Structure 1
Amino acid sequence: MKKTLICSLIMLTSSSALAFGDLGKDSQLTKGLTDMVSDSMSSTASSSPLTALLSDQLPISGEQATAGAGALLSLAGNQLPAEYSNELTSMIPGMSQLSGAQDLLGGIENLDAVKSAFNQVGLDPSMISQFAPLILQYLGDGGASEGLLSSLSNIWLPNS
């Protein structure tokens, strides 16, 4: 999951950074960076049970599953109380690395930032309502407490 989160963050930050570059001058560099991030995310996405679940259940790529899950988990890491944050960290390998990864993203502090992250990887922000139940199911199947699941639901689906 650490690789998944880092790759998600690299993709999210590199896509916005590359949007402002002179792509005509540096097309080889741009292509190389894009290919590197894409290859890295492809291998990470295929090795994560959570991203495999998301990409199997939703009409999205492994890279989009990785980025979407990373954005939602980053938001959770910022908003959960300590007891639930610790539980989530223990359930998803690499969650403890989110604090460093959030610096790359500029921090995902609210649902609007998650929506922006979804947009950056070609996902409609309305898909948050499809991602969240699948991630909650994954965590529930892994033995997550009702308190954690309820807190995550309130963070990710506040109007439900």
Structure 2
Amino acid sequence: MRALMVTALLLASALPVQAMSLGKLGDALKSATQTKATQPQGSLVETLMSSLGVSQDQATGGAGALFALAKDKMSNTDFAKLSQVVPGMDKLLAAAPDAAQVDSDAQNGGNSSLLGKAGALLGADSNLATLNGAFESLGMDSGMVRQFLPTVLDYVQSKGGTELMQSLKTALLGG
């Protein structure tokens, strides 16, 4: 009888721990589901995450930095078309690192200022050189700019056609 009571007490004391663990599991599943829900199936961010192995924040911020540069370089008409084929463009732009802050950090001794100046002096890919600091501020190597570019261009071409992709490419690479 005593063994039965001890067993019952042990079981009863373990229930709250299990319930709490199940509650945490439920919260984790809910959070994962909500994260998936914020990114449509086959979205650009999802594509960048799976093909480049970056986090959601890095994919969102990196794409946003590319599109922020494109917005400055493209005609309003072309950028409006681009915004129609890239769902959540406003969120991507909002996630881009603040260019003024990144530039300020670079001028205070960061590598990106040297890379940007070298790119500008050489005239090659000077637009992309300006993105190095943004990618570094997201915790990525500046070389990731070159890895994002083909993925973003392919995505835009698949959703908006070759003409729109060429317009984006020209805005980002110059020419």
Alignment TM-score, normalising by the size of structure 2: 0.54
Whether the 8 Å contact between 2:62 and 2:135 is mirrored in structure 1 is yes
Cα-to-partner distance string for 1:101-148 (whole Å, 9 max, x where unaligned): 49x82569x544421110001111211111111111111111x23332
1:74-85 equivalences under 5 Å are: 74-85=68-79
Q: 1:96: Cα distance to partner?
A: 5.4
Correspondence 1:149 to 2:149: no
1:40-51 equivalences under 5 Å are: 43=35, 47-48=39-40, 49-51=43-45
Q: 1:82: Cα distance to partner?
A: 2.0
1:63 aligned partner, one-letter code: D
Correspondence 1:139 to 2:156: yes
Q: 1:158: Cα distance to partner?
A: 4.3
Q: 1:156: Cα distance to partner?
A: 2.7
Go from structure 1 to structure 2 and tell me whether the alpha carbon gap of 1:45 and 1:119 turns closer, same or farther (over 3 Å shift).
farther
Percent identity between the two aligned chains: 32
Unpaired segments ≥5 residues, structure 1:
1-38
Q: 1:97: Cα distance to partner?
A: 7.0
1:1-160 equivalences under 5 Å are: 43=35, 47-48=39-40, 49-95=43-89, 101=94, 105-106=98-99, 110-142=127-159, 144-158=160-174
Whether the 8 Å contact between 1:45 and 1:66 is mirrored in structure 2 is no
Q: Counterparts of 1:128 and 1:45 in 2: how far apart (Å)?
A: 27
Whether the 8 Å contact between 1:64 and 1:121 is mirrored in structure 2 is yes
Go from structure 1 to structure 2 and tell me whether the alpha carbon gap of 1:46 and 1:58 turns closer, same or farther (over 3 Å shift).
farther
Q: Counterparts of 1:65 and 1:75 in 2: how far apart (Å)?
A: 16
Q: Counterparts of 2:99 and 2:149 in 1: how far apart (Å)?
A: 22
Unpaired segments ≥5 residues, structure 2:
1-30, 103-126
Q: Counterparts of 1:45 and 1:135 in 2: how far apart (Å)?
A: 21
Instruction: Please give the secondary structure, in 2, of the residue aligned with 1:125.
Output: coil
